Structure 1
Amino acid sequence: MTSSISPRHADPLTFSNGFTTLPPAHYTRLMPTPLPEPYLVAASARAAALIGMDVTSLQTDASLALFTGNVVPEQVTPLAAVYSGHQFGVWAGQLGDGRAILLGDVAAANGEGRYELQLKGAGLTPYSRMGDGRAVLRSSIREFLCSEAMTALGIPTTRALCITGSDQLVLREQPETAAVVTRMAPSFVRFGSFEHWFYNQKHDELKTLADYVIDQFYPSLRETGNPYKALLTEVTVRTARLMAHWQAVGFMHGVMNTDNMSILGLTLDYGPFGFMEAFDPHHICNHTDQQGRYSYARQPQIGEWNCYALGQAMLPLIGTIEDVQSALRIYKPAFGEHFVDLMREKVGLQTRQPEDTGLFDHLFGIMQDSHVDFTLFFRKLSDLKIANPTGVEAVRDLFLDRPAFDEWALQYAARLQAESSDDTLRKLAMDAVNPKYVLRNYLAQTAIEKAQNKDFSEVAKLLSILERPFDEQPENEQYADLPPDWANDLEVSCSS
C-alpha cells in the first residue's frame, strides 16, 4: 500500500535510515499523506537542540512541509514498521505503525548517537486496520507536552520536536482538526516487535531484529556469553527502573500494552495518561480500561508481565526457559531498590534503614485515606521542621484525618533526627526532586480548548512551565493549584 507521492526537496537535516538495514519484512516503505495548509502549533527548543536545529527554523514553510509530511527530502525513504502485541492482556496479533511514519534518523548534535524522526498522524499505512492514520490536535498537544514534561522530570521518554496542525477535519467522537506530532527517539522498537516474529514462528527474522538492537544500542552485550539473555536482562532492568520512576512521580500511562513498551526502556506512546491528584492507588486514568488492568497500583506488576511476554518471545534465541527466567528474576529487586531509593530522595532521607519501607507504606496509607493530592503533598513536605513536625499547616491541612498525619509526622521527624538531618539542606534537596508543576489533565484541557480556537499561547506557556518543574516560578503559582471542580468530569480514553 502506498499513499499519494509527496514532492521532495533538499533539507538542511542530513537523513539516513538505519532501520532499513533490516530486511523489508520488518517495514513497508510509503510516503506520508499530505495535509492542506499546515501551520505550526508548538515546538520544543530543547528537543530541536538535540539534533542541532534552531527552534525558529521550525517556523519556516520548508519545516512545516517536512514535519507535516507534505514534502520529503530526496534522501529520505519513509516507512511504517510492523509489530504485534498483547493489548489489555490479550494477544492482538499484527498491529504496526497505524498512523506513524518514520522519516529516518539524524545525528545527535553532541555526536553521541542518532535520533529517529517519526511523524505521528501522517496518514494511512498498511497497519492502520480500521483507523484513518490521523492524529487529532487534542491528542497531539497532550503527547507533545507530556513528552517534554517527563524529560524535565528526569524520566526516560521519547521526545517531541513539534506539532503541526491543519484545518482538515477527522472524525472521532466528533469532528476534530488533524495534527502531526514529530516524535524523536534513538529507536521506536517495541516489545511487540519481537513478539511479532515469535508468534509468526519466524525465528530468523527474530534473530535479525535482536542482532540489530544489540549492535545499534547495546553493543557491549556482544562480549557476554549469551548476548540475547543479556539483552533481556538489560531491558528488564530498564523497564523496572522506568516503572519506579512512574510510581515515584505519580504518573499513570493508561495503556501498557506490549506494543507500547520500548526496548530501550523509554516512556512510549502517550495516550490516556494522567498524573495522580487525589491519591488512590487503584485510580484508573484510562476511561476505556474498565477492568483496571492499568491502574496506578498495578503498573509495576504489568511492567513485569510485559517483560515476561518479551522473554517468551526471545526464548528461541536465549535457548532455555531457565535462562529466560534467570534474566527476568532481576525485575523485582531492580524495581524495589530503585523505588525505595527514589522515595528516600522524595522525603529527604540521606541513609538507608530497614524501617524505611514501613515508613513509606504508612504514609501511602494515610494519603489514601484522606485522598491527599500527590504532587502538592511531596512538594510541601519539604517545609516540615524536625522540631515541630506537625506545625506546617499547608501540609497538615491536606489531610482529612489530621491526627493520622500527626502520628506519621512524628515518626518521620524521629527518622530525620536519627541521621542529624538539617532542615534547610533537606528542603533544598527535596525541592530538587519533588516537582511543583506537573501536566495535570485540566491544564492540558485548557491549552487544548484555546488551541482549537487557533490560540496556541497556552501550549507555549505550559511548555515553558513544565520545562522547569522544580523551580518555584512565583509568577505561575496558579498552575500548581489543586484542580478546579470542573476537572472532576474530565475523562481520557484510548482515543485521547
Structure 2
Amino acid sequence: MAFSLIGDDTCQFIAPTPLPDPYWIAVSPEAAELVGISLDSNQLPQDPDWLAILAGNPAELGQRLFSKPMATAYSGHQFGHWAGQLGDGRAILLGELNHQELQLKGAGMTRYSRMGDGRAVLRSSIREFLCSEAMHALGIPTTRALSLVGSKQAVRRETMETAAVCSRLAPSFIRIGHFEHYAANGLHVRLQELAAYLIEAHYPECKSSNTPYLALFKAISARNAKCVAHWQAVGFCHGVLNSDNISALGLTMDYGPFGFLDHTALDHICNHTDSGGRYAYHRQPKIMHWNMACLANAMVPLVEMESPGQDAAEILRAALSDFPPEYEAKWLTLFRGKLGLQIDTPDDMDLIEALLQLMHANQADFTNAFRSLSKVQKKDAHSNWRDQFLDRDAADAWLSQYRTRLQQESNSDAERAAQMNCVNPKFILRNHLAQRAIENAQQDDFTEVNRLQRILSRPFEDQPGFEQYALAPLPDEVVTDLSCSS
C-alpha cells in the first residue's frame, strides 16, 4: 500500500513464508507486460529469479525492490454483521512495479490470520487466476493475476489439499474495510491521510472540489455502481460481497465462491455458505449500495472536518442517493449495447427486463442467449433463436417486439451483429470448465489451466476449434458446491 500512514496501528511489516519446492503453473502474458516482465517462448519469465520471488522467497525479495513487504489491517461487515478487525491474513504486499501494487495471496501467516494458516489452496488459486484475467478481457474493472505458483506443501481444508500462491496486481488494494477500520478505532488522522492519498494518487479530480472528501465518497460510490452494472451485464455473481471485499477503486477483487450464470436464474446463489441468498445475483446492486453506506458511515469524521457546523451524516446520506441512478444509467447503457440498440427510447428498459424474465422463466443460457441474439434480423420473421426457449410462443412474442424496436435503428443487420459480438462474449469462465482444469491440475497436468487462460483472453472472438468451451454444462457437469473455504 503506497501511502505514508504505515505503522503498528495500520499494518505489519512481514516477509512472506516461501512455498517449498515451488513450480510454475501459469503466467498471464498480458499482466506480465503490464509490469514489464519479459517472458520466454514458454510464456514464463526470462529471469529465473521470478519463480522464487513469486513463491515468496524473502532472500530473493531482499535483492529486488521489495524491501518492506507488509500485511495491512482492515475491518468490515460480513454477511451484514460487523466483524471487527480483519486484515490481510494470507496476502502480503511486496511493493510496486510500473505503478501496480504486487501482492502474494497465500503467502503465509500474518498477525491478521486469526485461526487461519495463511495459505491458499490450489483449486481456489486456479479459479482466482483464471477469473481475474477473464474479467479484464471482458472489459470489467478488476484486480489482475500475474502468476500462479504451486507446491506440494499439504494444506488442510475439508480434505488435505496442496498449496499455491496467486500473485495479484492492482493500482491499489485499498478497500472499504480500510476506511471502516480507521473510523471504528478512532484513527481519524490515519483516515484523513488515507483519503488524502487516494485523492492524490487515484482521484485527482476531487482536489478541485471545495469538499474533496465528499467528492471522494461520490467518486468511489460511482465507480462501484458502474462495476456492479458490468457484473450484471455478463451474469457474474461475486458470492461474498462483504464490505471488506469491496475496492476503493471500484475494482472486482477477492475472487472466492464466484460464478457466472449458466441457465438464467435471476435469484441464483453461487455461494452455498450464503444460505439466505444475501448475495444472490439479483441482489448484488442493492448490496453494493449497502456497502457504500458502510463507507459513508466511515467517512463521517472526514466530512465533519471539511463542513464544520453541518450534519455530515445527512450530507453523506444525500450523496448516497446518487448510487441507484448511477447504477441504472450504466446498466441500461450496457444492456442496450447487448441488444444492439444505439439510440435511446423510453421503452428500452421494459424490453430488456422482459427479455431477462423470459430467459429466467425458460432457464435459457445467459451467455449464449445474448450472443445468438445478434443473428436475429430486422425483417426475417423466422429465427432459430426461439429454439433456446421451452415457451416458443413467448419467445416469438418478445422477438416481435424486438424487431419492431430494431426498425428505429439505422444500422444494418451486419453492422449491428458486429457491434453486439463485441459486447456479448462467446466464452466465459464457466464453473464446469474451471473444475475440469482444477482436477487435471491436481494430477500435475496444467495444460487445461493454460488453455483456458488463452481462450478467455479473447472472449468475444469465435475461436474455431474451441466451440465446446462455449457450451452450457450438461446436467452432470453442473458445479454447485462452492463456498468460502479456500
TM-score (norm 1): 0.93
Give, in angstroms, the shift of residue 24 of structure 1: 4.2
How far 1:132 moved relative to its partner? Answer: 0.4
2:9 corresponds, among 25, 48, 66, to 25
Residues 44-91 of structure 1: CA deviation (Å, up to 9, x unaligned): 000000111113353654111000101313442100000000000000
Match of 2:102 among 112, 117, 120: 117
Residue 45 (structure 1) aligned with residue 34 (structure 2):
no
| Equivalent in the alignment of 1:317 | 302
Residues in 2 aligned to 1:20 and 1:207: alpha-carbon distance in whole angstroms: 11
Partner Cα distance (2:119, 2:159) in 1:
14
> Counterpart of 1:475 in 2: which secondary structure?
coil
State the 1:219 CA deviation: 2.3
Task: Give the alignment partner of residue 186 of structure 1, picking from 165, 171, 175.
Answer: 171
Give the letter for the 1:131 counterpart.
Answer: G
Partner of residue 434, structure 2? 444
Match of 2:53 in 1: 66
* Contact 2:272–2:480 under 8 Å retained in 1: no
Provide the C-alpha distance between the structure 2 equivalents of 1:52 and 1:308, rounded to a whole number of angstroms.
38
Distance in 2 between residues matched to 1:271 and 1:127, nearest whole Å: 19
Aligned-partner residue type, residue 443 of structure 2? N
Identity %: 52
Which stretch shifts more, 446-455 or 480-489? 480-489
Q: Given the alignment, which residue of 407, 412, 418 partners 1:417?
A: 407
Instruction: Indicate whether 1:356 and 2:348 are aligned.
Output: yes
Counterpart in the other structure of 2:140? 155
Q: Distance in 1 between matches of 2:70 and 2:391?
A: 56
Q: 2:453 aligns with which of 455, 459, 463?
A: 463
- Which of 377, 381, 394 aligns to 1:404? It is 394
Moved more, 59-68 or 375-384: 59-68
Which whole-Å CA distance do the structure 2 matches of 1:376 and 1:491 have between them? 23
Question: Separation in 2 of the partners of 1:377 and 1:278?
Answer: 10
Tell me, yes or no, if structure 1 residue 485 matches structure 2 residue 475. Answer: yes
Please give the alpha-carbon distance, in whole angstroms, between the structure 2 residues aligned to 1:133 and 1:467.
30
Whether 2:83 is the aligned partner of 1:92: answer: yes
- SS of corresponding position for 1:290: coil
Tell me how far 1:388 sits from its aligned partner: 2.1
Render the CA deviation track for 1:236-270: whole Å, top value 9, x for unaligned.
10010001000001000000000000000000100
Offset of residue 220 of structure 1 = 2.7
Structure 2 match to 1:14: none
CA–CA distance in 1 between the matches of 2:4 and 2:153?
A: 32
For normalisation by structure 2, the TM-score amounts to 0.95
1:369 to 361, 379, 383: 361
Which runs of 5 or more residues in structure 2 are unaligned? 305-311
| CA distance in structure 2 between the aligned counterparts of 1:221 and 1:24, rounded to whole angstroms | 29
User: 2:307 matched to which residue of 1?
Assistant: none
In structure 1, give the amino acid aligned to 2:325. Answer: P
Equivalent runs, 1:14-413 vs 2, <5 Å: 18-19=2-3, 22-56=6-40, 58=45, 61-70=48-57, 71-74=60-63, 75=65, 76-107=67-98, 114-319=99-304, 320-389=312-381, 391-393=382-384, 395-413=385-403
Do 1:142 and 1:270's aligned partners in 2 also have CA atoms closer than 8 Å? yes
State the SS of the aligned residue for 1:482.
coil
Residues 489 and 53 of structure 1: is their aligned pair in 2 closer, same or farther, counting only changes over 3 Å?
closer
Task: Give, in angstroms, the shift of residue 326 of structure 1.
Answer: 2.6
Aligned residue pairs total 472
Change (3 A) 1:60 1:457: farther
CA positional deviation for 1:368: 0.9
Instruction: Give, in whole Å, the separation in 1 of the partners of 2:477 and 2:84.
Output: 37
Deviates more, 1:435-444 or 1:194-203: 194-203
Shift of the alpha carbon at 1:18? 2.3
In the TM superposition, residue 387 of structure 1 has moved relative to its aligned partner by 1.3
Match among 472, 481, 484 for residue 462 of structure 2: 472
Distance 2:409 2:165 in 1: 52
| Distance in 2 separating the partners of 1:43 and 1:19 | 28
Match of 1:110 in 2: none
Structure 1 segments of 4+ aligned residues over 6 angstroms from their partners: none
Equivalent of 1:434, from 424, 435, 440?
424
Mapped partners of 2:357, 2:49: distance in 1: 54
Could you tell me how far apart the structure 1 residues matched to 2:380 and 2:164 are?
A: 53
**Contact 2:125-2:148 within 8 A present in 1 as well:** yes
* Alpha-carbon distance in structure 2 between the residues aligned to 1:68 and 1:59: 16
Give 1:20 deviation, angstroms.
5.1
AA aligned to 1:269 is D
CA deviations over 1:312-358 (Å, ceiling 9, x no partner):
00011012122212321210111001100101100001100000011
1:91 alignment partner, SS class:
strand
Counterpart of 2:441 in structure 1: which amino acid?
A
Contiguous gaps of at least 5 residues in structure 1: 1-16, 108-113
Q: Is the 8 A contact 1:44 1:160 kept in 2?
A: yes
